[in-house]
Amino acid sequence: MGTVLNVMGPVSPNNIPATAERISSYFPEQTVVSAIFNSYNEPVASQFRENGIEPMFVGDAMGVGQAKFLLDSLLSRRSYDLIHVFGGIVHTPVPQLLSSISGTPVVTRFNGYNNPSEKFPLVSAKLIENELLKRSDAMVFNSYYQMFDILREHGRNPGRRHHVISPGINESGFAPASDEEVDTLRESLGIPSDAFVIGTCQTPRPVKQPQKALDIVSELTPLDGRDVHLVFVGDSEHLPKYKRYGDDIGVTEHVHWVGKQPNSELSLWYSLFDVTFLTSSAESFGMCISESYLCETPCVAFLVGGMADQIQHGETGWLVRPDDTERMTDRIADLLTDDRRRRTFGEDGREYILDNFTLSEASSQYRSMTDSLITP
């Protein structure tokens, strides 16, 4: 059976159920203890327990939390068969030290690219990242582009310790909505019945380049005599700036900022979109692409991170050279005005995601990886 210590940072309120399900699915045959660098959070604790995970809140990763976590781990003398670091590199020092002391294998999952802050500058992040690449028994990346990007920065080539495993999506939570549901939503937003709808689901911040999404809708409308409306799902402290930009370029009447939406309702939004698109300059995976395809909505995105893994260029969607907004606009226009291709791309995209990126497939790949690390 074995016991796994999972180490991670705070869990986003919107992602609590999905995160708990994902971790428990990665280690279905092991007892999982999850050390969370955060203060006690009842919703997280409850959801983790429901998924058979023992939560342990250890405080701030940038403060005394690291020392407390190390001391508690040493005093408890609890042994683990595997240490799994899920997420940010700021959470890795203690797991690496515990691994060195006990000889326990450690797996580091790179959930994203470095996200430096004032407390944790880029140079420090790079130094720790380099140590992880040297010391981890296995490293998991969300996509091939992400793996090559990170390894290239440190002058390394892919090897047997490097694995590409998608986060995994529970396909049961995403399916095309009915025409009646979509029509009702469209009407509630005041979108004309003959208008095209393009959409994006993201946390609006600089790396996502929301201005480019606004530039695209500005160039697209009108298209073949029909309006094009942009529906923007997501929220952040940066949103007012992007709204002002939309006002400045005159697209306000064609943009719908709907904020964060519950995961349980995302299928309806993806079904509303004729095309889903992403203008990110970096994306370790981009789960919204898989979510969109499961709702049979085709996608267009810049060729970064996990986009190449999920979008089959010319078969299920279009990949565009990064920052080539003009080309992306053309590709979206091609799909909007070709009903048959749009439908085929969406249907084939759903099948591709079901064949490659489900949570059960990710879990199977995890088992293959950990079986070679965990001694029975």
Q: What is the pLDDT of residues 151-199, one digit of tens each?
A: 888 788 899 999 999 999 999 999 999 999 999 999 999 999 999 999 9
Q: In this predicted structure, what is the pLDDT of residue 324?
A: 96
1 pLDDT tier (thresholds 50, 70, 90): low
99 pLDDT tier (thresholds 50, 70, 90): confident
Distance, in Å, from the CA atom of 216 to the CA atom of 212, rounded to the nearest integer, reads 6
Residue 184 lies in a domain: yes
57 pLDDT tier (thresholds 50, 70, 90): very high
Look up the pTM and report it: 0.90
What would the mean pLDDT of 15-35 be, rounded to a whole number? 94
Are residues 110 and 284 in contact, defined by beta-carbon separation less than 8 angstroms? Answer: yes
Would you say residue 14 has pLDDT above 50?
Answer: yes
What contacts 242, CB < 8 A, 6 or more positions away? Answer: 204, 210, 211, 214
Q: In this predicted structure, what is the pLDDT of residue 124?
A: 53
> Are 216 and 158 members of one domain?
no
> Are 182 and 153 members of one domain?
no
> Are 110 and 188 members of one domain?
no
> Are 149 and 251 members of one domain?
no
The DSSP 8-state label assigned to residue 214 in this structure reads H
Residue 45 lies in a domain: yes
> Are 193 and 342 members of one domain?
yes
> Are 348 and 331 members of one domain?
yes
Sign of the Cα torsion 67, 69, 72, 77 reads negative
CA nearest to 292, candidates 304, 307, 313: 307
CATH number of the CATH domain containing 196: 3.40.50.2000
> Are 86 and 74 members of one domain?
yes
| Domain tally, the chain | 2
> Are 321 and 366 members of one domain?
no
Tokens 């660098």 locate to 37
Q: Return the H-helix or E-strand segment holding 367.
A: helix 359-371
What would the mean pLDDT of 227-247 be, rounded to a whole number? 96
The one-letter amino acid code at 263 reads N
Number of neighbouring beta carbons within 10 Å of residue 40 = 11
Q: In this predicted structure, what is the pLDDT of residue 127?
A: 65
Residue 11 lies in a domain: yes
Would you say residue 12 has pLDDT above 70?
Answer: yes
pLDDT digits (tens, 9 = 90+) for 208-219: 999 999 999 999
One-character DSSP codes across 214-239: HHHHHHHSSBTTB-EEEEEEB--TTH
Q: Return the H-helix or E-strand segment holding 186.
A: helix 179-189
Are residues 56 and 35 in contact, defined by beta-carbon separation less than 8 angstroms? Answer: yes
Which structural domain range is residue 256 located in? 171-356
Residue 21 lies in a domain: yes
> Are 175 and 158 members of one domain?
no
CA nearest to 323, candidates 282, 279, 275, 285: 279
Distance, in Å, from the CA atom of 38 to the CA atom of 9, rounded to the nearest integer, reads 7
> Are 180 and 114 members of one domain?
no
Are residues 261 and 288 in contact, defined by beta-carbon separation less than 8 angstroms? Answer: no
> Are 148 and 89 members of one domain?
yes
Residue 297 lies in a domain: yes
If you average pLDDT over every residue of the chain, what do you get?
Answer: 90
Residue 307 lies in a domain: yes
Q: In this predicted structure, what is the pLDDT of residue 122?
A: 46
Residue 130 lies in a domain: yes
Residue 376 lies in a domain: no
> Are 148 and 175 members of one domain?
no
